[in-house]
Amino acid sequence: MNKLKEFKISKNTFIGGWFIPKNICSNLIKYYKKNQNKVVDGEVVPHSTQISQVKENIKSCRELGLMPNNYDNEVKRYRFYLQECLLRYIKKYPDANLSNCKYNITKPFNYQHYQPGQGYKQWHCERGSLQNGSRILVFMTYLNDVDDGGTIFNNFKLTTPALTGLTLIWPTDWPWTHKGQISKTKEKHIVTGWYDFV
């Protein structure tokens, strides 16, 4: 395995964090900027409708959907390092790799760009509906430093910092209810998505 520095978080949170190289992050930001024709307003799936909608009072951002089979170099390199983080997560939490628990990235994941004042403003977990029932783990990588733009995990009284390259992996269920820390002054770039049962 490549050497990746670990971000120390209490093992009892089941949140793992490692730093991927900064050049991977800067290349993804360039990739986002050159694919503006594919960028859309961020959507959520309200419980009342189960249909994706733009709801800026819940989440406001611009998104670029990334397909699991994307072979563009910038995305391939990111996926390589994300896999390295997953291997470390499984080493730290071996029960995440039980023989009857097979999972992979099977659905589109998101590049999200937040302007100052934007963010995911509502408490949520990543498996909060039947539509998301196959999710087991969530991943998120901060692509730039935002000193007041981390992620708040409600039940752990924890705010993870937005540091370039920091890649977090955690379970998708309700104990990991979280929301974005909204920066009033800085843009934030992240990549986020899910490992689904296969």
User: Average pLDDT of 174-180?
Assistant: 96
The CATH number of residue 184's host domain is 2.60.120.620
pLDDT number for residue 53 = 65
pLDDT number for residue 58 = 80
pLDDT in tens, 54-95: 677 789 899 999 999 999 999 999 999 999 999 999 999 999
Of 120, 122, 146, 111, the closest CA to residue 30 belongs to 111
Residue 176 lies in a domain: yes
Residue 5 lies in a domain: no
Residue 6 lies in a domain: no
Number of domains within the chain: 1
Residue 2 lies in a domain: no
Examine the pLDDT at 2 and tell me if it is beyond 90.
Answer: no
pLDDT number for residue 150 = 97
Which domain does 124 fall in, by range?
11-197
For tokens 């100052």, the residue is 116
pLDDT in tens, 96-114: 987 677 899 999 999 999 9
pLDDT number for residue 57 = 73
Residue 117 lies in a domain: yes
What φ, ψ does residue 32 adopt, rounded to 5°? -60, -45
pLDDT in tens, 46-65: 554 556 666 777 898 999 99
Residue 175 lies in a domain: yes
pLDDT number for residue 101 = 79
Q: Which residues contact 62 (CB under 8 A, 6 or more apart)?
A: 39, 40, 41, 42, 112, 113
